[in-house]
Amino acid sequence: MKKIEKIYIAGHRGLVGSAIIKNLKSKGYFNFVTRTHKELDLTNQQEVVDFFADEKPDYVILAAAKVGGIVANNTYRGEFIYENLMIQNNVIHQSYVHGVKKLLFLGSTCIYPKNSPQPMKEEYLLTSELEYTNEPYAIAKIAGIKMCESYNIQYNTNFISVQPTNLYGPNDNFDLEKSHVLPALIRKMHLGKALENNDWKTLRADLDKLLIEGVDGNATENEIIIKLNKYGISKLETSNQKPVTRIEVWGSGKPMREFLWSEDMADACVHLMENVDFKDILNNIYNIEAPEKSRSENCKTSLNESQKPKAKSQELKNTHINIGTGKEISIKELAETIKLVVGFKGELYFNSEKPDGTMRKLTDSSKLETLGWKYSVELKEGIEKMYEWYNS
């Protein structure tokens, strides 16, 4: 990419998009196109058609998506599959229509089967059933991967799909109903610490920054306590009459998860945008030379007969790239680490009546390492940085 070329970043305010744009700026890129959801509804086909016709970006990074944790995914199943499919279809297709030089589509490792072999390699996609609680979201993301892959094969586009593991970092979502496990636990521990210290100034300041179901810092103490109790943050009387603050964690605590600092993820994405094309992935996986076509021919070309796979074992699929650390931690150990970082002194209660989700989700990122990139921020360091950001 040239520094002067126009880069459209869809979802620039979110955890993923904000980290990517920060990384690009640090490398000297400056010609960005961004739109808020109010300015451009990516689920609206005509709005996306008009946007691409007006702006004509050279590069596209598709980080916009409807995301959430187990509760949100399982509760808003229709919204998750519809909105994500519409966003992807509109942006990817218009990138093809307008001859975008390269598109980067961000998915998630929840695309892999519920009982996938570990660590999860790209080739394990669609080998068995998905985890039910996030099935609609996963199916939408799989469709996005296959759309990029199919357009590359038929039209010779340069669309790359990446599947980051669980991300965390600045601009994360701390909504207790809709957030992922790590930011949710950070906020729960923060509120729990304030509750155990009777620090109502901190409690009210937190609620003023981010309401909990309409309850802000102006609510009465009783209203705040009721709302905290609903989300598993409670102060209990013990047998010796000494109150103890308890944080509920969904599930048994046994599931293993992998976490990646969002700014590491951004660095991986920019590395791929600068250094890796779809033809490089073909060479890396299949030892197939992709055809060289001019940009004006992109909308009309496909692999010629000599370049098409000769046998089923050479079918062009699973050309997406995992982004991860290759390290995992149990939810129990994660909660204990966050408790230590935040300084919460109370109890952790693992509610095994709540769903665990997939028991393991460890990625194999060897393909990305072969393409020249590896993570740098370890988990405890990242949690410390994230809590510092949350308190800033």
DSSP letter, residue 343: T
Which amino acid, 44? Answer: N
Among 370, 374, 381, 367, residue whose Cα is nearest residue 325 = 374
Query: Phi-psi bin for 171: left (phi > 0), alpha (psi -120 to 50), beta?
Result: left
Helical (H) or strand (E) element with 44: none
Alpha-carbon distance of 339 to 330, in angstroms, equals 14
Strand positions, DSSP E, the chain? 7-10, 32-33, 59-62, 102-106, 159-164, 166-168, 233-236, 244-250, 256-257, 259-261, 321-323, 329-330, 347-351
**76 an active-site residue?**
no
Alpha-carbon distance of 183 to 390, in angstroms, equals 9
Report the alpha-carbon angle 372-260-335, nearest 5.
Answer: 155
Active-site entry in 29, 96, 137, 387? 137
Residue at token pair 């393991």: 360
Residues marked as catalytic: 137
